[in-house]
Amino acid sequence: MSDLEVSDETVADPDPVNEPAAVRVASRKELYPPIEPNVTGYLKVSDLHSLYWEESGNPQGKPVLFLHGGPGGGTSPGCRCFFCPDTYRIILFDQRGSGKSIPHASIEENTTWDLVSDIEKLREHLKVDKWQVFGGSWGSTLALAYAETHPDKVKCLVLRGVFLLRKKEVAWFYQEGASAVFADVWEDFRDFIPEEERHDLVSAYHRRLTNDKDEQLQLEAARHWTKWEMATNHLMPSLESRKRGESDDFALAFASIENHYFVNRGFFESDGWLLKNVDKIRNIPGIIVQGRYDMVCPFMSAWELHKSWPESQLWVIPNAGHSANEVGISEGLVQATEYFKDLH
C-alpha cells in the first residue's frame, strides 16, 4: 500500500493509482465541532474496577471505539471530535484507573489483558456486533492487542503514533534516545533519580511511584514523569499540554499506570508480541497516521508495523510530532475516519 505525506497543502496532480482513497474522498480536514454525550454510565468489570463510558453522535450510526493513550491518560471531550457525528456512534471509555473510572490511579488488577477483556465486556454491554477501533500512542498498542485477540469483532483500525511496547521503544524514550533531542528537559527527569540508580530510570521511578509510605515522594515522582512526556509530545511546545500535566490527579494516574505497564513490558508474552501476531489482522483494513518527528513513539515502530502489515496504509505527517492535537495529525485522523465512513 502507498505511504503518504499528508500536509495542510493540497496534493498537486496526484497519481490516481497510488493516491490513497482518503485524499480523494475527504476534503474536510478540520476537527468536528464539540458535542455532548447522548448517554454516560459506569460498567463494573471486576470486584474492584468500574469504568466510565459514554456515547455521542448518531445512536444508530457506525460504532467506533476510541482508545486513549498513556496508559493512564483518560479521555477528554475533544476525543469525540475526530468523528462525523451524523455518521458515527462514538464510544469513549476511561481505562482502569484512568480519568473518571474508579478506583483512581489503581494499578491493581490492571494489565493489557484486563483491558482487552474490558473492551469485550463494553462491546457486549452496548450490544455492538463489530466496530471501528481508533487508538493513538498506547491506544494503538491496546487497539492492536484487542484486534489480534478478537479479529472478528473489528471492522477496521485507525492508529496514530504507533507504540508496540518493545524494550527498545521504552529505552528510547526513558533511557537513551529522546534525551539527545530534549537534553534540557531531560535533565530534570533524570536528576530526580540519584546517580547510582540512573542505569534503569523506569525501575527507579517505579520504586518511588509505588512507595505507599511516602505519598509526597509518589506525587513528586509522578510530576517529574508526566512533565517529561508533556514537554516532548509536540513538534512545537504546547502550553496546553504542559498545563494538563500540572494537574496532580492527572499526573498520579498517568505516571503510576504508565510506569506499571512499562516495568511489566506491557504484560506481553515476549518482546515484539504484537508484530509476531500481526497475521491475525491481515484481513482488517487499517490506516496508520504517524508524525515524522514523533519523539515519544518514533517513526521506526510505525514503519516496522507497516512492513509487517503491508495491507495497511501508512500516512506520514511531515510537519508533526506525537500529539493527536497537532494540526497535521488531527487532519490525517479526520481523513482516516472519513475514509472508513462507507465501509460496510
Rounded to whole angstroms, what are the CA distances from 237 to 72, 102, 222, 240, 322?
22, 32, 21, 9, 12
Q: Is 294 a catalytic residue?
A: yes
Residue with cell 500536509: 7
317 sits in which H/E element: strand 313-317
Q: Is 204 in contact with 255 (CB distance < 8 Å)? A: no
| Set 294, 301, 306, 330: catalytic member | 294
Rounded CA-CA distance 339/52 in Å is 29
Q: Is 344 a catalytic residue?
A: no
Q: Is 49 a catalytic residue?
A: no
> Comparing C-alpha atoms, which of 65, 99, 104, 109 is closest to residue 83?
65
CA max distance for the chain: 64
- Residue 258 burial by CB count (10 A; 0-12/13-18/19+): exposed, middle or buried? buried
Identify whether 77 is preceded by a cis peptide bond (ω within 30 of 0).
no
| Set 49, 322, 323, 330: catalytic member | 322
3-state secondary structure of 123: helix
**Residues noted as catalytic:** 137, 294, 322
